[in-house]
Structure 1
Amino acid sequence: MWLAMLVMVCFSVLQKKQKRLLSCARASITQGLQGGWQREPPSLDKDEPGASFVTLTLQGRLRGCVGSLEVRQSLIVNVWQNAFNAAFRDSRFPPLDQEELGDVQIAISILTPALLLAADNEQDLLNKIRPGVDGLILEEGIHRATFLPSVWNTLPKSQDFLLHLKRKAGLADDYWSSSLKFTTYQTISFTE
């Protein structure tokens, strides 16, 4: 019985934290639209360090996605800055406008620490990544790209996932080198 109560308390805390982070992200975007955006939330509570991605969708289509792969600041500040950047600085999209704000949906993905994944060849890598579970970072010299685990929803086959990640990094479809570096991570994701 005590274990069930502990699970309920932890779930309640997690729900409150999720609501707080989603509220923070929306406030950052709203403040950006009003022209008075600051680098940190106005009421900054102490928070643990963390890395996140903030994804914006409008009518089910991607409208912006910006994030951090490394932990460099508190999670709430990271979400605040990534929300603003997803709305106004994602180079793939024009800045969000006031008319879109009411319809945009915000999703936040909190990243676990990344772990190096050794692979002797492409097939070895494909056998090691876990569809639907792992996010993947690919690095080769100046080339770097990542896909969040949620990308598996649109690219469910490992071969396609890796192919599109190579393209995103600016590498050829058939590119392979012993100097390629791969790291995996998972996310805790939630949306409004």
Structure 2
Amino acid sequence: MIDPVLLQIAKHAILEEFSNAYTFDKEKLFEKYPFLKIEAATFVTLEYDHHLRGCIGSLVPNRSRYEDIFQNAKSAAFHDPRFHPLSEKELSHINIEVSVLSKPEMIEYEDFDDLLTKVEPQLDGLIFKFDGYQGTFLPQVWRELKSPKIFLEHLSMKAGLSPMVYEKHPDIYKYRVQAINEDFEKIPPLE
């Protein structure tokens, strides 16, 4: 089970941009939740009335879980290039999801058909890498792209390449996530 404090961190990061942040003792927080100091790769996804409103994350751990969630929440809310910065009036319609990623593992495969058999729908997030192009889909994307073939085709397009690129055997990595989400207004403040 994933701790709701992760959502509280994301909410605090967003509120800080509106000068509505509340003060809390970070050292006490780390004493109560020591896992927040451990490096982790996370994604923060924002939805506005069930539609994507921002999603930014890290594929590999490079800072503490606290710092990664804090920075990714700010980036998802205010710096996702697909969206304008989040406004304060939108907060009542926002749902926050925090995903903590496992270490990505490269998938060994012979060809596209073999790759299709090595992907577990609903469970695997995938990373696509080829010749400087990269893209990822969290496992949550399976809700919209239900078949492995369609999932992989869209993943290559997200990276900026045609699905025909699979003939050139790009690197594909898989990972799992633990995720938690809640409506912005229902998330309590950090203590």
TM-score, normalised to structure 1, is 0.85
CA RMSD of aligned residues (A): 1.8
Letter of the 1:64 counterpart: G
Query: 1:166 — aligned with what?
Result: 156
Moved more, 76-85 or 168-177: 168-177
CA contact (8 A) 1:55 1:64 kept: yes
SS in 2 for 1:64: strand
Query: 1:135 — aligned with what?
Result: 125
1:43 aligns with 2:14: no
Letter of the 1:191 counterpart: N
1:52 aligns with 2:42: yes
Listed as ranges, the gaps of 5+ residues in structure 1 are 1-10
Counterpart-to-counterpart distance in 2, 1:176 and 1:134: 18
After TM superposition, give the deviation of residue 102 of structure 1 in Å: 2.1
Pair 1:80–1:120, CA change in 2 (3 A): same
SS in 2 for 1:65: strand
Listed as ranges, the gaps of 5+ residues in structure 2 are 183-191
* Residue 185 (structure 1) aligned to one of 175, 178, 183: 175
SS in 1 for 2:76: helix
SS in 1 for 2:43: strand
Counterpart-to-counterpart distance in 2, 1:73 and 1:29: 19
- Percent sequence identity over aligned pairs: 34
Deviations, residues 106-137 of structure 1 (Å, cap 9, x unaligned): 00110001111011111111110000010000
Counterpart-to-counterpart distance in 1, 2:25 and 2:152: 40
SS in 1 for 2:17: helix
Deviations, residues 32-64 of structure 1 (Å, cap 9, x unaligned): 12399xxxx972525211110000001010000
1:69 aligns with 2:59: yes
SS in 1 for 2:163: coil
After TM superposition, give the deviation of residue 185 of structure 1 in Å: 0.2
* Residue 31 (structure 1) aligned to one of 16, 32, 38: 16
Counterpart-to-counterpart distance in 2, 1:67 and 1:42: 25
TM-score, normalised to structure 2, is 0.85
CA contact (8 A) 1:107 1:191 kept: yes
Counterpart-to-counterpart distance in 1, 2:168 and 2:132: 15
